[in-house]
Chains A and B, each alone.
Chain A
C-alpha cells in the first residue's frame, strides 16, 4: 500500500500515486453508480434471488450506509489535516457496499447418510467519506486498514476500495443409524459460541473489524458484518438420542481448530472519521503467526427447554487492551497534547514507532466459559408479564495479558521513542445476564420486545502500573436496555437502545427500520453519546451522529 512504508503511515504521496488513486476512485465511483442504477431497474416484484437452479443459489444486496456526524471534527485527526481539519467540518460517511452469496448443494454424491454443500460469500465495498463543508481530503486516510498482510483473508484493498471473500466453506455431514451424526465445516468462517449476542462474552473465537464502524450498528443486529471470519475447521459430533438420559434432548461435542493465523481486533485507521488514535501514531498490531488456536465445546439441551454450553479454548489475545484503557479513562482527547506525538515530526529521529498495548505480541491466552438459557413462565395476573428467557454467559481467563509500566514514569520518559513494557498476566472474569421479555403494552398486533442485559468484567491480582490501573479499571460494568415495537405487520420496527457504562457514560440509539416491497430495507437511527467517564467517554466528540442505511436486496 502506497502510504504504508516501513510499517508506518505516511500521508504524503507523490503526484503519480495521487493520480493513480484518483483514477481508481473515479472507476469505482462509476462502477458503483452504474450497478446501483441497474439494480434499481429490477422490478420491485422480483423475488430476492438472483439465480436458483441446479443446486446453486445466488443472493445478495447493495447497501448504502450514510452517517452524518453531529459533533464536528474528530480531535484525534487534528494534526493529520484530514477529516475535520477545520472547526465544524462534520464528517459525512457514505459507504456503498455489496454482498453476493453463493450456496451450492451438488446434485451428485449425496445419499441418505452423507450430504455435502458449499457456501461462498463475497463482499465489495467503497468508501466515499466526505466532509459536509467540502474540506475533506478523502484520500488522506485508509478506509480499509489491516494491521497485517491481507492475503490470508483473500482480500484485496486499496485506499477506499476493498473486495474480499468474506466467507467460504464446505459442509460435510455423515449420518449413522445408531452411532450419531458427524458434521464438518472447513474453510473461512465465523465460529459463534454462546446465546447472548450483546457484549460477546462467550463468543470469543473471531475478532471484530471496527475499522469501518467503531460502534456496532443499531442494536448490533447486523453484527455478522463486522466479525472477521477466519480459516478454521469446525467439527460436531451429535450423540444419538437413544443414548441420552431421559431429561436430555441433545448432546453434542464440538471441536474447533484455527491453523494459526488469527487476526487481532481492527481499529479505525489514523485519519479515518472514527479514528481513536491521533494521526501521528502508527499502531502496529501484527500478530504472531503459525500458532494454532484450539477449542472444544459441549452442547447440551434439556427436555424442559434449558440449554447449556461449556467450552474452553486457547488462542492469541486478539483484543488490545490499550485502546479500551484510553477510552475508559478519558485520556484519548488529552493525548493530543502528549509530547509523544512528536515522534514523527521531521526533526526527531525516525525509524522508531510505538509498541503499545500488547507490544505487538498478542500472547496466547486460555479461556474457559459457558452459557445457559432457560425460559421462566408465570401465570399470575400480574406476574405473567414477567415471563421471559434468562440467559447467562461467563468467561474466565486465568492469564489475561496486560502491559505493565506503560504509564510507569520510569519507562515512559519523554524523548525516548521506543516505549517498551513488560507483559504480565492477571486473571479476568466476565459474566453477562440477559433477560428477554415481551408484553402487549401498546394496542398493536405484536408485543413490545424488551431486552435487559447486565455485564461485568472483573480483573484480579496486582494491577499496579498496568494499563488497567488508571481510572479504576479493575472492574467494568455495563447495562443494556433495548425496546422494539413491531408495527404494520412487522414492516415498521421502531426501537430504542441504551447502553450505559456504570463508570459514567452512555450510548442512546433511537432507531427505526422499514421494509418496502421485496427488495428495500431502510434503517434510520441517531447515536447520542454522552458522559465523561467510561467506555463511551472518548467517543463523545466523534461518534454522535445521525445514520441512514438503505439496503437493496438483489
Chain B
C-alpha cells in the first residue's frame, strides 16, 4: 500500500517542530486572525508543481500516463480509477479557506474553539458537560476519534436540511445496467447558521445527531421505497432503521444490522456508507494513519451562473453519456465535467483509519481522507475481512453558498462515486440539487414531520 510511503506525511511530521521554531503558525490561528492561511505551510506543499518537482503543473490533466507521479498524493479511489483509464482529473489552484467553507461556519468554530472534549464514552461534550452547541468541535483534531466527530457533527455544508435529487447508474464494462433516482433528505440537528433563530437543536430531538431518508423514485419497481436512519447523539448506541415498503404499503422496522446491506440493487454503498461514514463511532477504532499533501475535490469550482441544472438533469437521464472518459473543463459544464471535476492540492490532508469492532461489519478497516481546513471527508476506501481493497469512493462537491448573499438561494452540485473494485462495478452517482432557504427559516421547508418520521413516510408514496 502506498500509505506506507507517505513521503509528505513524513516530511510534515519530521518538520513539525522545525516549522514551529521557524514561526509557522497553525492554520486555524491564521484563518481566525484573518491572515494569509498559506503562511502555515511551507511553499513546497502548496502547489502541484512543488510536490511533483515541476512535472505536473496546475491546470494539467492527470491521466493514466502521468498518474504515477502523484501516486502518493491521490486517494486510493482516484489513483485506481485514473490508472484504469476510467477517470481523468483536471488540476486547479488551491482554494483559499473562504472559498470552500462558509463564513458563519468559521465564526461559529472560532467562537467554540477549545470548548470540545470527549467524555469517557467517547461522546462529544462541551467543557461543562453539555451537548455540542455548534461549529467544528476540534479544529484541528488531534486523534482519529476527534477527527470523526468533526465529520458526524455535520458542521459542514449548510448546517441544515438538504434536499437532493440524485441518480445512480451502475456501470459494468461501461454499460448501464441499472439506474436509480432518489430524493435524499438530511436533517441536521445541530445548527450553526446565523440565518436561523432556532436553538441549535430541534426541539424534542436533542438526543439525535441527524436523520437520513432516501426515497427511490425510479425505476418503477423501486418507486417509493424509502429508508430512514435515525442516528443517536450517543455514539455508543446503534441507529434505528425504518423503511417504507411500497408493495406492502407500510413502514417496516428493520434490525440495526441492516445498515450493512446495500442501499439498493447495484449501489455498492451500504446504508452505513452514506455520507462516507454513517455508522456509530464507538463500533470502530479510530486513528490517524498519516498526514500528507494530497489532491482532493474540495471545491470543483462550479460557478452558479454557468451551471445549467436542467441540462444536467437531462444529461443524467441519458445513460450513454455517463462516461468517465472524454471529460471537458468548466467551459462546458456537464455531467462529464462534474465527474472529472477540478481537484486541487491540499497542503494537509489527514488519512483517518477506522478498524471495525463489529463482527457483523463486512469491512475490516477503512480509510477516510479529511482536509485540515474544512475538516470534511472527501474520499473513502474500505477493505474486506482479508484486508483486500474492496470499495472506495470520492465525494466531489461544490456549493455556491460560501459567497452568496444571505437571501439568495443556494445551489449545490455534488458527485459521489462509490465503486466496488472486486466486482468490477464502477458506479456513477451524480447529485444535482437545488436548495433554497431564507433568513430566519433556514429549513428548506423540509420539516421533520414532513419526511423524517414513520407517519410522514406513509404519505411519501410518490414524492419526488
Residues of A within 8 A of B (CB): 44-49, 57, 59-61, 101, 103, 112, 117, 119, 171, 173, 175, 180-181, 183, 185, 190, 192, 194-195, 197, 203, 220-224, 227, 236, 238, 240-242, 244, 246, 249-250, 252, 299, 301, 303, 305, 307, 373-375, 377, 381, 384, 387-389, 391, 436-440, 445-447, 486, 489-491, 515-519, 521, 551, 553-554
- Shortest CB–CB separation between residue A332 and chain B, in angstroms? 29
Known: A242-B204, A446-B261, A517-B176. 10 other contacts (CB 8 A): A47-B179, A49-B218, A175-B449, A175-B450, A197-B252, A238-B449, A241-B202, A241-B203, A307-B454, A436-B252
Chain B residues contacting A224 (CB-CB under 8 Å) are: 246-249
A200 nearest CB neighbor, chain B only: B248
Q: Does B114 contact A (CB under 8 A)?
A: no
Chain B residues contacting A384 (CB-CB under 8 Å) are: 359-360
Contact with A along B421-464 (1 / 0, CB 8 A): 00101000000000000000000010111100111100101101
Q: Measured between alpha carbons, how far is A240 from B220 in the docked complex, in Å? A: 34
Chain A residues contacting B207 (CB-CB under 8 Å) are: 303
| Segment touching A, from B30-38, B262-270, B292-300 | B262-270
8 A–B contact pairs at CB < 8 A? A49-B218, A181-B449, A192-B250, A307-B454, A373-B252, A373-B253, A375-B256, A389-B252
> B320 touching A305 by the CB < 8 A rule?
no
Q: Does B27 contact A (CB under 8 A)?
A: no
Chain B residues contacting A59 (CB-CB under 8 Å) are: 218, 220, 223
- Shortest CB–CB separation between residue B411 and chain A, in angstroms? 20
Chain B 287-329 interface residues, beta-carbon cutoff 8 Å to A: 317-320
Which of A57, A305, A374 contacts B462, CB < 8 Å?
A57
Residues of B within 8 A of A (CB): 170, 176-179, 181, 202-205, 207, 218-221, 223, 230, 238, 240, 245-258, 260-262, 264-268, 317-320, 359-360, 362, 420, 423, 425, 445, 447-450, 453-456, 459, 461-462, 464
Q: Measured between alpha carbons, how far is A197 from B246 in the docked complex, in Å? A: 11
Chain A residues contacting B450 (CB-CB under 8 Å) are: 175, 181
> A489 touching B425 by the CB < 8 A rule?
yes
> A436 touching B251 by the CB < 8 A rule?
no
> A438 touching B317 by the CB < 8 A rule?
no
- Shortest CB–CB separation between residue A440 and chain B, in angstroms? 7
Chain B residues contacting A374 (CB-CB under 8 Å) are: 253
Which of B218, B254, B425 contacts A48, CB < 8 Å?
B218
Chain A residues contacting B360 (CB-CB under 8 Å) are: 384, 439-440, 447
Chain A residues contacting B456 (CB-CB under 8 Å) are: 238
> A221 touching B462 by the CB < 8 A rule?
no
Chain A residues contacting B255 (CB-CB under 8 Å) are: 375, 377, 387-389, 436-438
Chain B residues contacting A377 (CB-CB under 8 Å) are: 238, 255-256
Q: Measured between alpha carbons, how far is A49 from B464 in the docked complex, in Å? A: 12
- Shortest CB–CB separation between residue A143 and chain B, in angstroms? 23
Chain B residues contacting A249 (CB-CB under 8 Å) are: 204, 453
- Shortest CB–CB separation between residue A288 and chain B, in angstroms? 27
A-B contact count (CB 8 A): 189
Contact A518 B449, CB 8 Å, known A117-B462, A195-B252, A222-B247? no
Chain A residues contacting B230 (CB-CB under 8 Å) are: 305
- Shortest CB–CB separation between residue B397 and chain A, in angstroms? 24
Q: Measured between alpha carbons, how far is A193 from B207 in the docked complex, in Å? A: 29
Which of B205, B249, B445 contacts A192, CB < 8 Å?
B249
Chain B residues contacting A242 (CB-CB under 8 Å) are: 203-204
Chain A residues contacting B179 (CB-CB under 8 Å) are: 45, 47-48, 518
- Shortest CB–CB separation between residue A201 and chain B, in angstroms? 12
- Shortest CB–CB separation between residue B198 and chain A, in angstroms? 12
- Shortest CB–CB separation between residue A537 and chain B, in angstroms? 27
Q: Measured between alpha carbons, how far is A44 from B176 in the docked complex, in Å? A: 9
Q: Measured between alpha carbons, how far is A447 from B253 in the docked complex, in Å? A: 16
B420 nearest CB neighbor, chain A only: A489
- Shortest CB–CB separation between residue A64 and chain B, in angstroms? 15
Q: Measured between alpha carbons, how far is A176 from B204 in the docked complex, in Å? A: 17
Q: Measured between alpha carbons, how far is A229 from B69 in the docked complex, in Å? A: 64
> A301 touching B453 by the CB < 8 A rule?
yes
Q: Measured between alpha carbons, how far is A351 from B455 in the docked complex, in Å? A: 52
Chain B residues contacting A299 (CB-CB under 8 Å) are: 454-455
- Shortest CB–CB separation between residue A380 and chain B, in angstroms? 11
Q: Measured between alpha carbons, how far is A491 from B265 in the docked complex, in Å? A: 5
> B250 touching A491 by the CB < 8 A rule?
no
> B453 touching A250 by the CB < 8 A rule?
yes
Chain B residues contacting A252 (CB-CB under 8 Å) are: 455
Q: Measured between alpha carbons, how far is A60 from B223 in the docked complex, in Å? A: 10
Contact A119 B204, CB 8 Å, known A192-B248, A518-B176? no
> B449 touching A490 by the CB < 8 A rule?
no
A254 nearest CB neighbor, chain B only: B455
Chain B residues contacting A244 (CB-CB under 8 Å) are: 204
> B218 touching A489 by the CB < 8 A rule?
no
- Shortest CB–CB separation between residue A301 and chain B, in angstroms? 6
Contact A57 B219, CB 8 Å, known A241-B203, A517-B178? no
Q: Measured between alpha carbons, how far is A439 from B462 in the docked complex, in Å? A: 32
Chain A residues contacting B420 (CB-CB under 8 Å) are: 489
Chain B residues contacting A440 (CB-CB under 8 Å) are: 360, 362
Contact A195 B449, CB 8 Å, known A440-B360, A491-B266? no
> B362 touching A553 by the CB < 8 A rule?
no
Which of A192, A227, A246, A489 contacts B423, CB < 8 Å?
A489
Chain A residues contacting B260 (CB-CB under 8 Å) are: 447
> B320 touching A45 by the CB < 8 A rule?
yes
Chain B residues contacting A60 (CB-CB under 8 Å) are: 220
> B454 touching A490 by the CB < 8 A rule?
no
B320 nearest CB neighbor, chain A only: A45
Q: Measured between alpha carbons, how far is A439 from B359 in the docked complex, in Å? A: 11
Chain A residues contacting B318 (CB-CB under 8 Å) are: 45
- Shortest CB–CB separation between residue B137 and chain A, in angstroms? 24
- Shortest CB–CB separation between residue A309 and chain B, in angstroms? 10
Which of A101, A183, A389, A554 contacts B253, CB < 8 Å?
A389
A192 nearest CB neighbor, chain B only: B249
Q: Measured between alpha carbons, how far is A224 from B461 in the docked complex, in Å? A: 13
> B170 touching A489 by the CB < 8 A rule?
yes
- What are the nearest 5 A-B pairs in CB distance? A48-B219, A45-B319, A490-B265, A197-B248, A103-B462
> B261 touching A447 by the CB < 8 A rule?
yes
Which of A183, A190, A387, A517 contacts B249, CB < 8 Å?
A190
Q: Measured between alpha carbons, how far is A380 from B12 in the docked complex, in Å? A: 43
- Shortest CB–CB separation between residue A378 and chain B, in angstroms? 10
Q: Measured between alpha carbons, how far is A112 from B448 in the docked complex, in Å? A: 14
> A301 touching B454 by the CB < 8 A rule?
yes
- Shortest CB–CB separation between residue B244 and chain A, in angstroms? 11
Contact A553 B203, CB 8 Å, known A117-B462, A223-B247, A447-B260? no
- Shortest CB–CB separation between residue A181 and chain B, in angstroms? 5
Best-buried of A119, A180, A221, A241 by chain B (most CB within 10 Å): A241
Q: Measured between alpha carbons, how far is A521 from B247 in the docked complex, in Å? A: 15
Q: Measured between alpha carbons, how far is A195 from B250 in the docked complex, in Å? A: 6
> B459 touching A446 by the CB < 8 A rule?
no
- Shortest CB–CB separation between residue B313 and chain A, in angstroms? 9
> A236 touching B455 by the CB < 8 A rule?
yes
Q: Measured between alpha carbons, how far is A389 from B207 in the docked complex, in Å? A: 22
- Shortest CB–CB separation between residue A483 and chain B, in angstroms? 15
Q: Measured between alpha carbons, how far is A48 from B222 in the docked complex, in Å? A: 10
A513 nearest CB neighbor, chain B only: B221
Which of B253, B264, B266, B447 contacts A195, CB < 8 Å?
B253
